[in-house]
Amino acid sequence: MFGKKSLREHYAKIVDEIRDGKRRQPQHDRPSGLRGKYLEANVDPVDQRFFAEAALLGPALDWHTADAWSFEETSDTMRRAWYLDSPDYGRRWTVYYNSLKLGWMEASAAPERLFGTVDEFAASPMAQIDIELHELRWVPAEDVFGLLYQVAFMMEGTVDGYDAARERARRTAESAMTLYSWEVSRAGDEYVPSMEFSAKGPYGVHRETVAHWNESSLDTVAKVLAGRDR
């Protein structure tokens, strides 16, 4: 209709920030413990185990994704994923692309056996990452793929080798992008769909990545925690 703004024109400022903006340096508000501000609750030892192991998950994704992405940890540890059967706790991050707040990321233990012991969880670890992102339609495809791929890759196991883990992560990311592309086409010029993405697995790649950093030097871990120099 004459005089009506196109969807791209409506999102012009967002498109400009994605295209020409500068990366936001994360301003973390890291939780002091698993329950964050919900200190009155009892701590599940299995949740606590993963909470400690995931301390470098956000920085690891920051390190391995495109420069524009950043992951700002929050002290609010109550997970918000709408499909959870009940409130759950874990680590949470606000996700930025340059200075744009695009959504959130959450991670927590997902044990195969409910109310199992820490030893049982350590013998067969399983965790889940959930992401919700908005305005993703305007972000370059290679940057979106890189984010989804790295999230899926970090959750992969390494029993059958890294090549197999990479291939599974690639398929997971490509499938999510295909589904999102369909939603964008279906939405047309009416609205911009959000993306919901989950990856679940034994997170062997993440555990081995952190072990490698710890073996390299404390300076390496400190650099990762501080974020990359831009």
Instruction: Report DSSP letters for 177-223, one per residue.
Output: HHHHHHHHHHHTTS----EEEEEEE--HHHHHHHHHHHHH-HHHHHH
Residue 48 domain flag: yes
The whole-number average pLDDT for the span 201-216 is 92
- pLDDT recorded at residue 118: 94
Give the whole-angstrom CA distance, residue 150 versus residue 42.
Answer: 32
- Grouping H, G, I as helix, E, B as strand and the rest as coil, residue 64 is helix
Q: Does a structural domain hold residue 36?
A: yes
SS3 84: coil
102 lies in some domain: yes
Tell me the pLDDT band of 229, cut-offs 50, 70 and 90. Answer: very low
Task: Among 32-41, 112-121, 137-146, name the most confident range.
Answer: 137-146
Q: What residue numbers bound the domain in which 129 lies?
A: 7-226
Residue 2, domain member (yes or no): no
Cβ atoms < 10 Å from Cβ of 202: 18
> Is position 78 within any domain?
yes
Alpha carbon distance 210, 53 (integer Å) = 9
Residue 1 falls inside a structural domain:
no
Contact 70, 24 (CB under 8 A): yes
Cα gap 157→153, rounded to integer Å? 8
Residue 109 maps to a domain: yes
Q: How confident is the model at residue 227 (pLDDT cuts 50, 70, 90)?
A: low
Task: Report how many domains make up the chain.
Answer: 1
Q: Per-residue pLDDT tens for 150-168?
A: 999 999 999 999 999 999 9
Core vs surface per residue 213-228: b (16+ CB within 10 A) or e: beeeeeeebeebbebe
pTM of the model: 0.90
In a domain, 147, yes or no: yes
